[in-house]
């Protein structure tokens, strides 16, 4: 045994060296470092002494592949597989239907309770021998189970008496890539699109496989490859052949491909004169298109559609409505089991209603009118992925329509890929919000997982933060947001605290002295960005187009609701958007209990204050400060929090390779610089209205307001391409 | 010793596993696999037993860093360094001036003969002890020497009696990146720009360092970061700060940064009304700009300029000429030691002279009129980076002007990054071409290295094929083109055969059974692409804009010389561009001996036939075939050669990991598909004129000409961005 340990150490030495290179970041949370704790390693060696894996199917073969990749790295040994299930097996991985009777008996209850995607990992005793069984109803359950099993080893969990039965709580767990056919990515800050359309279908980049592995490891089972601001060309045979090649890769990891469907495609690529959803030829065109797609991709997921929103074509161009449009597509996809995911992110240039109210107003009347393979996808808040928004009033309001939660993982409004912001904290806040639609406890999570109204089809979508950067997400910690989104789509009741810990263990270290401070840093990071960008319910005060940096002064854009001044409404009297009954009355779209809370400055959480109220500069906050002073101090607190993050990271140096330390240290330095920019620019601007001095404790701005207003960023990344 | 070998094997096991991943491609030719030959390893262990490295300077520290990265991987051992030069040292790495007397004596002759960038690696005997000395006049020579030393080990060379004294034959060895500020890359097929302008200057991507390492390892010492179709913004303080950050990285690897200077910058970013090079304010603006740049980057290389070419602004806009423009900038850079590299790639829409003649006509009169820090950069051939061109007539014609050779490493016209084409074969053909300007033996290489006319400043530039793909160049074998360019810029007399072998050893394997067949495949690959794209001197018959695939039929573009029909001139009588005295008389721009050869169909190499002659379809080729039949057979031969490449690669499987095999196999499959596309499209189109059947041996086209003409590629990569 001692010799084995020595061997282990020797074998594993070179990994340490490679760790020094940025390539390590490529491996995401699937980086299987050797288990250094020798007692634990001995346990794990025992558990993996003799393995049986059912691999009679492509998905099962991938599961086996994960074992043969990970275990030698974790344990430094070659694996012994048996061809059939034998009494000597210490680890048995097989579909439930293929288990021998005595193993079935010990797993039956859990398997029966699991869904088609669920799995069981259970330590059992058979004839005095202990073994671990990983089983499931279906192949994909086995793959998920294997990934979980490896994660448990990777995070040094005791597996001796393990019993985990887990099934996803949401059906469609999906990434939305806003990727264009020229490989630019709208709101992408991690390089460019992974999809190399030029080399597809014949060249399958290994990265497609690693993308699928990463997704499957956290249970993501769907991906929309293309931008919601869609190009119809992706529906032509030349591109469908390429999509098919990707689908062939992803299928073996349980991932279905969706495409964004441009509503005007029948005109643009179908030579029709109209895209009217009630036109016979148009309807036939979509049916033929669906048939063509399914001939290539039998498990095609369906269409994701942005229609009549921000200039995209839609049914309203022909005097029809969203139901007409969505159901037309749903009818075409229905015979093949495909879905339409129809986005509710709509607001009209011809409607001067508070933009926050428009989606609800437009969609509420349609509840119950969509076909059963239509889901309506709703952004987490009523405006647009701000650092903080109250939950979208559509959640809980529509009863018969399955609502897909749309989170934005890419940090369009949260510092691009240079700010460390742990988003599961934001996602958790939204999911835990109580809609009160069926009384107390009617949380958004319950809307999304279908339990509140008994919806049979459910979904959660995350706008991807993935690009072709070596480390996938631009910021190493942004990997945690991809990870965390996947985990919450699997189980929207998980805590952001647990997710952070899982990710830290899988990515960096199992040492508590690293885990605890870094977890704390992650968990406070979201509040930090709110503080230094838009505290107290401020929102959408970003510079135009690229949304990089502050632009609260912008007032010259074509539509009122494109201008920051529309949202903060700062004037000499005060600041904030009155959405109570004395204002836009957006609060009426919430359940009474919620509306009452939001309407009442005594009851509303202060974090949402200026979202719903226009208040005087000397309004008194809970902490006794005036609104002006409190706001200024909160901007300062955001900056202070980033400084604290830097101190935390600096104190972690001993756990990190030089490059692991450096890359995050450099990014935190940028974050601090930009946090100060936000603080200074916003306070200088708002000070013009408040006409009050900065309170003690707030650092003096280093530049003038004119300087901040003069900054131009013509090549900031992520802007919508010019051909759109 | 046996135990050591066992250890070695054990330690190195995990590398084998990691090899299976595409990440390995990232390491380029700096992938230091363990030396498995135990005798050799024992030798190398002896040589590296005790090392002294002078590291009292950033460049020297980088040299030491390379040793500590590579040697443990090659030899599986920790290194022992001494603090001073001791008798026990087996390896001494130090500047010549710091060597002790007895070591100086044994290296003096070679060091005195070397340039400031040269180095010596020499095995010597001192008091009965043998040791290897790596020395040089300057720090950069040490770095180059260390890279060469490591390459020798990596390629399993016997180092026992080594004595290599080597100095670069060309001063400026430069990459030209056609990278835009939005990170698109004009003619880029390996993803997008490495330069992440958004995150610069504060975030230093490790990739910048690895880029510098790769370049230094082959002697590249200059890089122009931005597209010759330039954006003036790169000269503003916001971007200069970012350029400075890159220069700070590259400086430690002996690499100078150049920028492309947009001629109209004084108007666009300087608020001047003119960019007239004789205007006092304009001249002052450039002087101030140079001063500003050098304050940030004391070793800034200078400006690379494309002026009055393809719509770029230039001195001619103000009635001035290239000398006026270049000298104005040269004067601004002169005080700081900077250079102007002025491109000769000019042709005018107002000039109906054969485009092949225009650059020569325009520049010849300026010979001797440029300041001494101006170099004129000339593409290898007179048209534009075709699969084959005769050498540019400017080489050898200008005596007093240093001419920089411009090769295109990125495969704009050679199959993008999906075709395996070993370009050093092309480069070698050009460099070996005899201009006869000072009699026989006046090769292009001698023009470029300055030896023909005694030019004191010399340069070679390669348009980069580097992007942010994981493997840097899109095609794994395209790495060999970057490598080979660097080697030829160092020594334009190297053979492509040797370069191929060096690269194969460093990248794949030292096994002769792998080296020989793969080298053969590489060396024939360039002739293959000529055959299946444009045999017998055909040129520029590419589809419009993107240059992806054949477009010999294109005849509707704005300027005659943008249309393929301008170049092939196929008609019912024959095909080819008559550039003899009966035609455009482009041959007059060459030395008499060369002109006579080109003019005479009996003497001209058949590979250049249709570049210079319009010949009837039944003209008889050397092999007795008619021109039509011979051309058709050559197209077929190109396809056959790709099929042979596929067979070669398939037979190499046992030397390769699965992913190493697969990635190239997939690409070769695309190459074969596209070779057939070229053959079929071109032959079907030319057949309309020849009105003759395809000869026996040529496969029947699988598609109609109409089909090929209908193909559209709106998102083919590498197109000039819309903002230009």
What CATH number did the domain enclosing B114 receive? 3.30.379.10
Burial B562-594 (b: 16+ CB within 10 A, else e): bbbbbbbbbeeebbbbbbbeebbbbbbbbbeeb
Looking at the fold, whether B244 and B282 belong to one and the same domain comes out as yes
Position A687 pLDDT exceeds 90: yes
Residue B23 and residue A26: Cβ atoms within 8 Å? yes
Place of tokens 């399955």: A402
DSSP state of B587: G
Position A459 pLDDT exceeds 60: yes
Distance CA B610, CA B194 (A): 39
Which of B561, B565, B545 lies closest to B553 in space, CA to CA?
A: B565
Question: If you average pLDDT over residues A427-451, what whole number do you get?
Answer: 98
Residue A13 in any domain: the answer is: no
pLDDT, residue B10, reads 35
Last residue of a domain, one of A136, A166, A196: A166
Q: Are B130 and B170 in contact (CB under 8 A)?
A: no
Three-class DSSP category at B252: coil
Per-residue tokens: A5: 């340990």
Position A13 pLDDT exceeds 60: no
Position A214 pLDDT exceeds 60: yes
- Find the CB nearest A717 among B198, B204, B207: B198
Q: Are A94 and A285 in contact (CB under 8 A)?
A: no
Residue A198 and residue B416: Cβ atoms within 8 Å? yes
Q: Is B112 exposed, middle or buried (0-12, 13-18, 19+ CB in 10 A)?
A: exposed
Positive or negative CA dihedral for A623, A627, A633, A635? positive
Residue A722 and residue B722: Cβ atoms within 8 Å? yes
Residue B207 and residue A723: Cβ atoms within 8 Å? no
Mean pLDDT of chain A: 95
- CA-atom Rg of chain A in angstroms: 26
Question: If you average pLDDT over residues A31-39, what whole number do you get?
Answer: 92
Contacts of B206 in chain A (CB under 8 A): 21-22, 659, 663
Contacts of A181 in chain B (CB under 8 A): 714-715
Contacts of B15 in chain A (CB under 8 A): 14
Looking at the fold, whether B87 and B107 belong to one and the same domain comes out as yes
The active-site residue out of A292, A310, A351, A606 is: A310
Q: Which residue of B has its CA nearest to A660?
A: B206
- Rounded to the nearest angstrom, the minimum Cα separation between B436 and chain A is 44
The H or E element containing residue B483 is: helix B479-490
Which ranges in A402-492 belong to alpha helices (H)?
424-432, 444-448, 479-490
Distance CA A362, CA A343 (A): 12
Looking at the fold, whether A469 and A496 belong to one and the same domain comes out as yes
Q: Which residue of A has its CA nearest to B9?
A: A11
Residue A206 and residue B663: Cβ atoms within 8 Å? yes
Looking at the fold, whether B115 and B194 belong to one and the same domain comes out as no
- Rounded to the nearest angstrom, the minimum Cα separation between A271 and chain B is 16
Beta bridge partners of B443: B434
Residue B588 in any domain: the answer is: no
Question: If you average pLDDT over residues A221-237, what whole number do you get?
Answer: 98
Position A6 pLDDT exceeds 60: no
CA B528 to chain centre: 20
Q: Are A155 and A506 in contact (CB under 8 A)?
A: yes
Looking at the fold, whether A107 and A243 belong to one and the same domain comes out as no
What CATH number did the domain enclosing A686 receive? 3.90.1330.10
Looking at the fold, whether A144 and A221 belong to one and the same domain comes out as no
CA B393 to chain centre: 20
ipTM of the complex: 0.95
Residue A722 in any domain: the answer is: no
Residue B183 and residue A192: Cβ atoms within 8 Å? yes
Question: If you average pLDDT over residues A512-535, what whole number do you get?
Answer: 98
Contacts of B7 in chain A (CB under 8 A): 10
A362 contact partners, CB below 8 Å, separation of at least 6: A322, A344, A346
Looking at the fold, whether A490 and A552 belong to one and the same domain comes out as no
B335 contact partners, CB below 8 Å, separation of at least 6: B290
Residue B191 and residue A189: Cβ atoms within 8 Å? no
Q: Which residue of A has its CA nearest to B672?
A: A202
CA distances from B663 to A245, A709, B669 (A): 15, 49, 10
pLDDT, residue A721, reads 61
Residue B509 in any domain: the answer is: no
pLDDT, residue B721, reads 62
Residue A670 and residue B199: Cβ atoms within 8 Å? yes
Distance CA B462, CA B457 (A): 17
Chain B contact probe: residue of A181, A715, A719 with most B CBs at under 10 A: A715
pLDDT, residue B558, reads 84
- Rounded to the nearest angstrom, the minimum Cα separation between A207 and chain B is 8
Which of A179, A271, A310 lies closest to A234 in space, CA to CA?
A: A179
Three-class DSSP category at B555: coil
State pLDDT tens for residues B43-54: 999 999 999 999
pTM for this prediction: 0.96
Looking at the fold, whether A122 and A35 belong to one and the same domain comes out as yes
Place of tokens 């960038």: B117
Residue A673 and residue B18: Cβ atoms within 8 Å? no
pLDDT, residue A123, reads 98
Residue A486 in any domain: the answer is: yes
> Could you give the residue numbers annotated as active site of B?
310, 384, 412
Contacts of A192 in chain B (CB under 8 A): 183, 191-192, 468
State which residues form the domain around A129. 2-6+29-166
Residue B716 in any domain: the answer is: no
Looking at the fold, whether A147 and A176 belong to one and the same domain comes out as no
Per-residue tokens: A586: 């957006």
Contacts of A197 in chain B (CB under 8 A): 715
The active-site residue out of A110, A179, A384, A543 is: A384
Question: If you average pLDDT over residues A602-616, what whole number do you get?
Answer: 98
Looking at the fold, whether A258 and A355 belong to one and the same domain comes out as yes
A311 contact partners, CB below 8 Å, separation of at least 6: none
Q: What is the pairing mode between strands B615-616 and B574-575?
A: antiparallel
pLDDT, residue B49, reads 96
pLDDT-wise least confident of A16-25, A50-59, A115-124, B409-418: A16-25
Looking at the fold, whether A423 and A446 belong to one and the same domain comes out as yes
Looking at the fold, whether A216 and A160 belong to one and the same domain comes out as no
Q: How many CA atoms lie within 13 A of B183 on its CB side?
A: 31
pLDDT, residue A661, reads 97
- Rounded to the nearest angstrom, the minimum Cα separation between B667 and chain A is 6
Residue A10 and residue B7: Cβ atoms within 8 Å? yes
Distance CA B703, CA B685 (A): 12
The active-site residue out of A362, A412, A429, A501 is: A412
- Find the CB nearest A670 among B26, B203, B207: B203
What CATH number did the domain enclosing A498 receive? 3.20.20.80
Residue B191 and residue A468: Cβ atoms within 8 Å? yes
Question: If you average pLDDT over residues A529-557, what whole number do you get?
Answer: 96
> DSSP letter string over A38-61?
HHHHHHHHHHTSSEEE---SHHHH
pLDDT, residue A10, reads 35
Residue A324 in any domain: the answer is: yes
Q: What is the pairing mode between strands B51-53 and B91-95?
A: parallel
- Find the CB nearest A14 among B11, B418, B722: B11
Q: How many domains would you assign to chain A?
A: 3
pLDDT, residue B22, reads 66
Contacts of B205 in chain A (CB under 8 A): 22
Position A350 pLDDT exceeds 90: no
- Rounded to the nearest angstrom, the minimum Cα separation between A203 and chain B is 5
Residue B668 in any domain: the answer is: yes
Last residue of a domain, one of B166, B186, B213: B166
Chains A and B form CB pairs within 8 A to the count of: 115
Residue A418 and residue B199: Cβ atoms within 8 Å? yes
Q: Are B503 and B484 in contact (CB under 8 A)?
A: yes
Contacts of A13 in chain B (CB under 8 A): 11
Last residue of a domain, one of B103, B132, B166: B166
State pLDDT tens for residues A398-412: 999 999 999 999 999
Which stretches of chain B score pLDDT less than 50? 1-21, 723-724
- What phi, psi does A487 have (nearest 5°)? -65, -40
């Amino acid at each position: 045994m001692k010799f084995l340990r020595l061997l282990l150490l020797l074998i594993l030495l070179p990994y340490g060296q490679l760790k020094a290179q940025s390539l390590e970041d490529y491996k995401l949370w699937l980086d299987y470092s050797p288990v250094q704790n020798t007692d634990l390693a001995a346990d794990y060696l025992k558990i993996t002494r003799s393995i049986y894996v059912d691999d009679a199917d492509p998905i099962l073969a991938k599961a086996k592949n994960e074992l043969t990749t990970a275990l030698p790295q974790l344990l430094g040994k070659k694996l012994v597989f048996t061809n059939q299930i034998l009494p000597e097996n210490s680890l048995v991985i097989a579909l439930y239907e293929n288990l021998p009777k005595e193993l079935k008996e010990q797993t039956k209850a859990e398997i029966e309770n699991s869904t088609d995607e669920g799995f069981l990992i259970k330590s059992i005793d058979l004839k005095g021998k202990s073994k671990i069984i990983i089983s499931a109803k279906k192949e994909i359950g086995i793959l998920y189970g294997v990934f979980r099993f490896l994660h448990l080893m990777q995070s040094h969990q005791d597996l001796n008496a393990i019993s985990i039965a887990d099934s996803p709580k949401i059906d469609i767990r999906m990434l939305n890539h806003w990727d264009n056919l020229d490989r630019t990515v709208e709101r992408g800050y991690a390089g460019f699109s992974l999809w190399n359309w030029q080399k597809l279908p014949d060249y399958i980049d290994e990265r497609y496989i690693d993308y699928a592995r990463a997704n499957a490891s956290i249970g993501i089972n769907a991906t929309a490859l293309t931008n919601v601001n869609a190009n119809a060309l992706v529906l032509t045979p030349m591109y469908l052949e390429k999509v098919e090649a990707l689908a062939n890769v992803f299928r073996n990891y349980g991932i279905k491909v969706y495409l964004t469907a441009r509503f005007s495609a029948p005109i643009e690529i179908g030579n029709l004169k109209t895209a009217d959803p009630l036109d016979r030829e148009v309807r036939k065109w979509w049916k033929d298109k669906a048939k063509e797609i399914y001939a290539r991709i039998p498990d095609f997921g369906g269409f994701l559609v942005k229609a009549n929103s921000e200039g995209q074509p839609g049914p309203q161009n022909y005097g029809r409505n969203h139901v007409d449009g969505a159901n037309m597509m749903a009818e075409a996809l229905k015979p093949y089991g495909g879905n339409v995911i129809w986005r509710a992110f709509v607001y009209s240039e011809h409607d001067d209603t508070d933009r926050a109210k428009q989606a609800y107003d437009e969609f509420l009347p349609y509840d119950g009118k969509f076909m059963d393979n239509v889901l309506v996808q709703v952004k987490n808040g009523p405006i647009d992925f701000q650092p903080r928004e109250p939950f979208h009033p559509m959640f809980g309001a529509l009863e018969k329509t399955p609502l897909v939660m749309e989170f934005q993982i890419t940090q369009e409004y949260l510092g691009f890929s240079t700010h460390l912001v742990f988003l599961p904290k934001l996602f958790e806040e939204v999911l835990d919000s109580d809609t009160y639609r069926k009384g107390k406890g009617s949380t958004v999570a319950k809307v999304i997982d279908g339990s509140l109204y008994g919806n049979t089809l459910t979904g959660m979508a995350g706008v991807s933060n993935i690009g072709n950067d070596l480390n996938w997400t631009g910021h190493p910690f942004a990997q945690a947001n991809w990870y965390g989104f996947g985990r919450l789509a699997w189980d929207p009741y998980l805590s952001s605290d647990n997710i952070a810990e899982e990710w830290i263990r899988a990515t960096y270290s199992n040492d508590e002295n690293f885990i605890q401070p870094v977890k704390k840093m992650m968990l406070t990071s979201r509040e930090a960005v709110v503080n230094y960008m838009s505290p107290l319910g401020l929102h959408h005060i970003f510079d135009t187009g690229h949304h990089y940096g502050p632009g609260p002064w912008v007032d010259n854009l074509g539509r009122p609701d494109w201008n920051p001044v529309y949202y903060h409404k700062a004037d000499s009297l005060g600041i904030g958007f009155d959405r109570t009954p004395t204002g836009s009355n957006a609060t009426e779209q919430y359940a009474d209990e919620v509306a009452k809370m939001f309407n009442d400055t005594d009851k509303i959480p202060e974090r949402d204050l200026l979202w719903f109220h226009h208040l005087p500069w000397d309004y008194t906050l809970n902490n006794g400060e005036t609104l002006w002073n409190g706001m200024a101090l909160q901007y300062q607190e955001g900056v202070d929090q980033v400084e604290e993050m830097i101190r935390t990271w600096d104190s972690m140096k001993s756990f990190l390779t030089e490059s692991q330390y450096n890359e995050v240290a450099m990014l935190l330095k940028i974050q601090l610089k930009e946090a100060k920019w936000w603080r200074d620019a916003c306070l200088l601007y708002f000070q013009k209205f408040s006409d009050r001095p900065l309170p003690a404790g707030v650092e003096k701005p280093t530049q003038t307001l004119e300087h901040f207003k003069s900054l131009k960023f013509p090549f900031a990344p992520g802007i919508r391409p010019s051909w759109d």
